[in-house]
């Protein structure tokens, strides 16, 4: 379980960093275009925010599997 936990932790952290950078890029692009944000931009931004939370959850599960491995 410890090996799976480390893998999940690494995937979660890498995914979180990727999604955060993509979300920041979308936010900066939306800020430069003025107050009007298109529906597609809003959906893309929301998708990256959802991905960030999913990757955080994956990292937390990986941390739990690493710290509290099962007896196998």
pLDDT score recorded for residue 28: 73
Confidence check: pLDDT of 11 > 90: yes
Query: Above 90 in pLDDT, residue 5?
Result: yes
For the chain, what are the domain ranges?
A: 2-67
Residue 33 has pLDDT above 80, yes or no: no
Burial 27-66 (b: 16+ CB within 10 A, else e): eeebeeeeeeeeeeeeebbeebeebbeebeebbeebbebb
Q: What is the pLDDT of residue 35?
A: 64
| Residues 6 or more apart in contact with residue 56 via CB below 8 angstroms | 12, 16
High-pLDDT (> 90) share of the chain, %: 53
Cβ 16 vs Cβ 52: under 8 Å: yes
pLDDT at residue 1 above 90? Answer: no
């Amino acid at each position: 379980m410890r090996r799976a936990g480390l893998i999940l932790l690494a995937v979660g952290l890498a995914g979180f960093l990727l999604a955060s950078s993509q979300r920041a890029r979308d936010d900066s692009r939306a800020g430069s275009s003025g107050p009007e944000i298109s529906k597609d931009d809003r959906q893309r931004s929301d998708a990256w925010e959802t991905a960030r939370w999913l990757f955080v959850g994956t990292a937390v599960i990986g941390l739990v599997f690493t710290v509290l491995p099962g007896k196998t």
